[in-house]
Structure 1
Amino acid sequence: MSVPLYRSKAEFFKTLGHPVRIRVLELLSEREHGVSEMLRDTGVEPAYLSQQLAVLRRADLVVARREGTAVYYALTSPQVAELLRTARLILTGVLAGRAEPPDDHRAPAPREESP
């Protein structure tokens, strides 16, 4: 029996639901990165980065290649970068909405009383 699409989507978003994994995907959205670069840019310990990269590999979101002793990572699909851009747009709108609610959500102006 196949897994319903909504469950697969939930698992996918769980995979994305970690700040270090999001940061790694953002870096890889720009270009391929070596592990040493990602360590510098994420500020996490090597073992921790390795764990997060393993999660992303299992989800087929990133692919690794070895060049000598260095390991480089890249996104498996440009659609991952597009998803991150879309998420940024959504969040920008949500956060902007918190600063000042749209006209139809503002409290009504106080009524002036008649003499």
Structure 2
Amino acid sequence: MPVPLYEAKAEFFRMLGHPVRIRVLELLQDGPLPVRDLLTAIDVEPSNLSQQLAVLRRSGIVTATRGGSTVVYELAGGDVAELLSSARRILSVLLAGQSELLEQLREAEGERKATA
């Protein structure tokens, strides 16, 4: 029995649900990078980075090319960069909304103290 589309989408987002994986994808938006450059840019143990890269590779979201002892990773397609850009836009709106709510709460607290 085929997996329903909503379950496949949920699995896709679960695969993205790790900070190191998101950071790798952000870095690869600017082009292919060798593992040593990813390690320099991300403060994690090599074994942790290797695990996260393996998850991204198995999912097909990144590809790896070996040249001698160097492994270079790159995004498998431009849609990932577009997804990350969309996520930034959504977060900007959400965080702006939270900032406005926080300001309203502070104003209400100030008014409460002034009348007390």
Task: Identify whether the pair has TM-score above 0.5, normalized to the shorter chain.
Answer: yes
1:84, 1:27 → 2: CA distance? 11
1:90, 1:29 → 2: CA distance? 18
- The residue number in structure 2 matching 1:104 is none
- The residue number in structure 1 matching 2:105 is none
2:55, 2:98 → 1: CA distance? 33
- The residue number in structure 2 matching 1:75 is 75
Unmatched segments (≥5 aa) in structure 1: 102-106, 108-115
Identity of aligned residues (%): 58
1:25-40 alignment runs, 5 A limit: 25-40=25-40
SS of 2:29's equivalent in the other structure is helix
Q: In angstroms, what is the RMSD of aligned CA positions?
A: 1.3
- The residue number in structure 2 matching 1:98 is 98
**Which residue type is aligned with residue 65 of structure 1?**
T
How many residues of Structure 1 are paired with residues of Structure 2 in the alignment? Answer: 103
- The residue number in structure 1 matching 2:17 is 17
Superposed CA offset, 1:10-68 (max 9, x none): 00000000000000000011111110000010111111100000000111000000111
| Cα deviation, residue 96, structure 1 | 0.6
- After the TM superposition, list the runs of 4 or more consecutive aligned residues in structure 1 that deviate by more than 3 angstroms: none
